[in-house]
Amino acid sequence: MQALTNKVKVVSREPMTWMERMYLPAILKGMAITFSHIFKKRPTINYPEKKRPFSPVFRGLQILNRDEEGREKCTACGLCAVACPAEAITMEAAERQPGEEHLYKEEKYAAKYEINMLRCIFCGFCEEACPKDAIYLSETFAPSNFQRKGFIYGKEDLLIPHPVEEPETFAKARGSRAKHPEGHGNEH
Amino acid sequence: MILAIDWMVFIEKLVLIIAVVSGSLIIAMYSTYMERKVAAVLQDRRGPSRAGPFGIFQPLADGLKLFFKEEIIPDFSSKFLFILGPSLAMLTAMMIGAVIPWGNKMHMFGRDISLQIADINIGILYVFGVVSMGVYGIMIGGWASNNKFSLFGAMRAASQIISYELAMGIALIGLLMVTGTLSLKEMVGGQMDHWWNIFKQPLGFLIFLICAFAECNRTPFDLAEAENELVGGYHTEYSSMKLGFYLFAEYINMFLSGAVMVSLFFGGYDIPFVNDIHLAENIGANWAAILQGLCLFGKIVCFLFLFMWVRWTIPRFRYDQLMNLGWKILIPLALFNMMVTGGLILLKQNHWHF
């Protein structure tokens, strides 16, 4: 039959020759192949000691952002919760009292802010929806937990460390993602 | 006094027995580590690397795990035989070590100490006897489990060992005719600073090697524990350290069959390319004996690697293929080898005149 493509590999149905029926040459050939794998480079890395870098567009755990003075940016407008397709975000708003100006940037803030990491699909819509650049997705993922309630992240889990009081942990948590505390991190 | 016992000999042999038994246990332990590392390396993986540097405590962790597992003896099993099975497998595996010459004589405390537990003049026959005893451990364990898969595995192991022992024995007759002795010590002595027996009996060695794989129940002949057909084979019902004993016995068997093959075909404790007698005169008999022991160990490790290399290369046989190979190919080949060897020896005695 005429082959339609040049990818066809015709299988030989001829009886095996005497050499082939000895099997030993074929076995030696196979053993040479496995032996050659000793010298091949291993694709595995020793994970916890050595980590592969994430892609620059990786979407990991959410972070609630602060401005450069350490004030929370979130105004509890609820746009992220509306944008969330998995309905993982809930929040409760509160009014900023006089004397709390060093804590919250705007007059309204989120008294309670929760993301259920078991529901979250890490789509990043919350980051896109946020008008205040208060939430963005970081380069880490949620660590494992023994209980489901451990996956409901509150404000204390999400909030970025204070940039003035703890500059080192702040820089580590911010990562390379949000280059400027003011303005959008992913504009460029 | 007729029954005057030389207590020094008693102590000397006791120390040697303890050394060989504990040595083969430790080596069996680390063969499991080697097996996993070799498998990993051949498959482009990394293998155990967490317990200790390079994972060298992995065998200890494995052993500990086996000890802490629940010990299950099935209600419907025959309990005495169920426990006897793995014990027998372990016992027979370690008994082979008694006749292997682990090195030449050492001179200590004013005595010549032979590094062989028992230099019996029918050493190789003893090995055959003990090896065929080894299948009783599997047979008894499989039968006592009262489980059809265990019994299948046990039957397979028994018939496989019967089939391959024949070819193994006949393949060895050629070697026995060449060396003219049954004692392992004398066989090794004959190879010291001479041609190794592998050059005199290449076909005999090949058959012996294939049969050794079958006797050790190693892939490609591990049909007794073919997990895709028989669940776990003869050790389906076993758990905890009783299972560990079966697995351990396999590795001890591997180590000691490597030792037997090295002694028979690869010069035993002979150091290649070195005149051993000359060496012993130069650096002293003790150091020479230690070097020879290390050399023997190195050769055995090469065989262990071969066993593992084959295991991670070649898939398992089908049972009819196994039987065909044993009865229709290996036994005729072994007979042919025996005839040719006998003919050549006759010719040589006749000074190459027909």
Does residue A49 lie within any of the structural domains?
no
Does residue A77 lie within any of the structural domains?
yes
CA B322/CA B315 separation, integer angstroms: 12
Instruction: Quote the Cα angle for A107-A110-A113, to 5°.
Output: 170
Per-residue pLDDT, A85: 92
Which residues form the domain of A162?
A: 62-174
Does residue A122 lie within any of the structural domains?
yes
CATH number of the CATH domain containing A75: 3.30.70.3270
Measured between CA atoms, how close is A21 to chain B, in angstroms? 11
Q: Verify whether the Cβ–Cβ distance B42 to A42 is below 8 Å.
A: no
pLDDT at A180 over 50: no
**For A152, phi and psi rounded to 5 degrees?**
-90, 105
Does residue A187 lie within any of the structural domains?
no
Measured between CA atoms, how close is B123 to chain A, in angstroms? 31
Does residue A148 lie within any of the structural domains?
yes
Q: Verify whether the Cβ–Cβ distance A30 to B313 is below 8 Å.
A: yes
ipTM: 0.75
Does residue A68 lie within any of the structural domains?
yes
Dihedral sign of CA atoms A123, A127, A130, A135 in order = positive
Averaged pLDDT of chain B: 84
pLDDT at B7 over 70: yes
Average pLDDT in the B101-129 region? 79
Confidence band, pLDDT 50/70/90 cuts, at residue B277:
confident
Query: Cβ-count burial of A21 within 10 angstroms (0-12 exposed, 13-18 middle, 19+ buried)?
Result: exposed
The answer to whether the beta carbons of residues B189 and B279 sit under 8 Å apart is no
Q: Verify whether the Cβ–Cβ distance A35 to B309 is below 8 Å.
A: yes
Q: Verify whether the Cβ–Cβ distance B43 to A42 is below 8 Å.
A: no
Residue B71: partners with Cβ closer than 8 Å, 6 or more residues away: B239, B240, B241, B242
Number of domain units in chain A? 1
For B281-337, what is each residue's pLDDT tens digit?
Answer: 777 777 888 888 888 889 999 999 999 999 888 888 888 888 888 888 889 989 999
Per-residue pLDDT, B336: 92
Residue B23: partners with Cβ closer than 8 Å, 6 or more residues away: none
The answer to whether the beta carbons of residues A134 and A74 sit under 8 Å apart is yes
Nearest residue, CB atoms, A34 vs list B46, B49, B313: B313
Chain A positions contacting chain B at CB under 8 Å are: 27, 30-31, 33-35, 37-38, 40-44, 46
Nearest residue, CB atoms, A30 vs list B43, B46, B314: B314
Q: How are strands ordered across the β-sheet holding A152-153?
A: A89-95, A108-116, A152-153
CA-based max dimension of chain B:
70
For A134-155, what is each residue's pLDDT tens digit?
Answer: 888 887 777 788 888 888 888 8
pTM of the full predicted structure?
A: 0.77
Average pLDDT in the B159-175 region? 88
DSSP string, B35-49: HHHHHHHHTT-----
CA B286/CA B293 separation, integer angstroms: 11
pLDDT at A183 over 60: no
Per-residue pLDDT, B349: 85
Task: Identify the CA nearest to B253 among candidates B241, B264, B245.
Answer: B245
Does residue A154 lie within any of the structural domains?
yes
Measured between CA atoms, how close is B3 to chain A, in angstroms? 56
* Residues of chain B neighbouring A42 (CB-CB closer than 8 A): 44-46
How far is the CA of B264 from the CAs of A1, B79, B196, B225, B269, in angstroms? 57, 40, 9, 29, 11
Does residue A19 lie within any of the structural domains?
no
pLDDT at A42 over 50: yes
Among B17-21, B156-160, B223-227, where is mean pLDDT lowest?
A: B223-227
pLDDT at B146 over 70: yes
For A53-111, what is each residue's pLDDT tens digit?
Answer: 877 788 888 888 888 888 888 888 889 999 999 999 999 988 888 888 888 888 888 88
